Chain A
Amino acid sequence: MDLSFFLFLSSGLFLGWSLGASDASNIFGTAVGTKMVKFRTAAVISSFFIIIGAVYAGSGASQTLGHLGSINTLPGAFMSALAAALTIYWMVELSMPISTSQAIVGAIIGWNFFAGKPTDISILSQIVGTWIFCPVLSGVISVLLYLSVRNIVRKSHIHIIRQDCYTRIGLIIAGAFGAYALGANNIANVMGVFVEANPLREIRLGSGFHLSGTQVLFLIGGIAISVGVSTYSQKVMDTVGHGVMKMSPLMAWVVVVSQSVVLFLFASQGLQQFLLSHDLPALPLVPVSSSQAVIGAVMGIGIAKGGHELNWNLIGKIAVGWITTPIIAALICYVSLFFLQNVFGQVVYQ
């Protein structure tokens, strides 16, 4: 393995960094913004559990992306990740609710087109279906959770001070679960395109500790996400806490748990195997957007409160994003691969 690997991996690391900077706010944004949890606590918990989730549960969603397109050279993987990152940057500029998953899927399709490889339509439709299903499922979970929590709070007669204490503990536990689910589900976006061309070897420490080459790759990606959380997410968390979504800490807890459950459902191989072994319908393991899951959950609470707070403009933006994000990423990836191959003389596919 030479140093060029890390050069090519840099686009994935950048993607991971930006994911950490933006998506950690979905987990701890309101808690930090409303001063329920200190930023340092949030950053440490997020970083730790994102890495754990990425290393130990990240392979499921990553395999699905691999079935969509196996990018088999490092320069190809580099450009796919960079195209996704550029698309995200552009979508942020347009104030669209970004989805790293949609950008990376678009980039993989762009690579498939350039390399002349077929795109598995059944896998693609499964992934696209999941994108639409994700905010809807998150909304349904948040409605059920919101109504249950509201009932419990109203009937239990807990003192406001004690409720505050329980909410803080709940936010920290939900945040840890959310970070684990984010790492497990979204590491595929960051490192998925590098799996096929991964030259990293397994690590063994004694007889108990063992990481496969892919897990080492995911560990590096997880660290990149964690660096994003620690270095750049505070500003985003403050914005989420104060501006974009005005929520009480208890509502924030409902939103975090809803999106975490959704991300976990679309990432857990154990759960999928359990459901399949009991002849139950299992969800596909697909990287989904935590931002859109959050928006779905907030909308769910809006519906549960009477539907007065529904922001149809935002729903429209999400729907537009389902189509535009992958198309833009695919186009950028296709054009960039052309330059990388013909101007810089890199082998972008085999």
Chain B
Amino acid sequence: MFHLNVSIFSRTKSLENKIDLFHDKLLDGAMSFKKAVKIFLNEQRSEEYRKLSKQIKQIEHDADNLRRDIENRLYSQNLIPDLRANVLQLVENLDRVINKFDEVVYSFFIEQPEIPLEYHGRINELCDQVAECAENMAKASRAFFRDLSSVRDYSQKVYFIEHETDLSSGNLRRAIFESDMPLANKLQLSSFINQIADIADIAEDFIDELLIFTIKRDI
């Protein structure tokens, strides 16, 4: 009986660790993304940027493995049957954000867009906002698993920052299209800005779902 209990709790502990680790990957991804864009703006496709791009790819790869493992264990061990579908949806959406960080950083690496110096500050600001949005999304999600009362606080931050992101990206795109750049450059930059701002939109949608699941999870 004692052995059985120890076995159940060790399996539980292992899955708890994996879920925590998965959230850590999102936080790592957000910080690396912020750093990568800064380096790209300063040095273009430098060796350091290439290393960071590889690092984000590795984070994305690890996160995918963790996601599969979490999903597999939830089903094979028949855990949280009433909330399993919700948890799977949350994990999938968190993974989408990590994928998006990788996608944007890789696009910079491949396309090497020419970004005039006057926009560097605003693009850095936008990336900081998006990264902060993703960080708060990860914190809200982590709170869903442990501390329901904090979910609302982090969610409110995500909503606020997402709104700021919308304003920043809108202003930036307007400034780009009002400039003298060739249309092709304008469209390319606009596409990058949209891709970056999309991350905050995914975070907002995630929080909408998370708040519903939180009501369901509260006994």
Contact = CB atoms under 8 A, between A and B. Distances in A.
Given A157-B146, A161-B16, A146 B219 contact: yes
B76 to A, nearest CB: 13
A160 B81 contact: no
Interface in B182-219: 216-219
B200 to A, nearest CB: 26
Interface stretch (A78-86, A131-139, A246-254, A272-280): A246-254
Range, interface on chain B: 20 to 34
A249 B78 CA distance: 14
Contact of A35 (B16, B78, B148): B78
A165 B219 contact: no
A320 interface: no
A interface: dominant SS: helix
B172 interface: no
Nearest to B15: A161
A146 B216 CA distance: 15
Contacts of B175: none
A251 B82 CA distance: 12
B82 A161 contact: no
A19 B81 CA distance: 28
Interface in B51-82: 78-82
A161 B78 contact: no
B219 A149 contact: yes
Contact of A250 (B8, B87, B144, B219): B219
Interface string A156-173: 011111101100000000
Interface in A227-258: 248-251
Range, interface on chain A: 20 to 34
A211 interface: no
Contacts of B218: 150, 154
A158 B144 CA distance: 11
Given A146-B219, A160-B217, A251-B219, A34 B146 contact: no
A89 B44 CA distance: 81
Given A34-B81, A36-B81, A248-B82, A161 B219 contact: no
Interface in A28-44: 34-36
A153 interface: yes
A36 B83 CA distance: 12
A160 B218 CA distance: 11
B25 to A, nearest CB: 18
Contact of A153 (B8, B9, B13, B219): B219
Contacts of B146: 157-160
Contacts of A161: 12, 15-16, 19, 79-80, 145
B148 A164 contact: no
Nearest to A150: B219
Contacts of A165: 8-9, 12
Contacts of B19: 159, 161
Given A161-B15, A161-B19, A161-B145, 16 more contacts: A36-B81, A149-B219, A150-B219, A154-B148, A158-B146, A159-B146, A160-B145, A160-B146, A161-B12, A161-B16, A161-B80, A162-B12, A162-B13, A165-B12, A249-B82, A250-B219
12 contacts: A146-B219, A161-B12, A161-B16, A161-B19, A161-B145, A162-B12, A162-B16, A164-B12, A165-B9, A248-B217, A248-B219, A251-B219
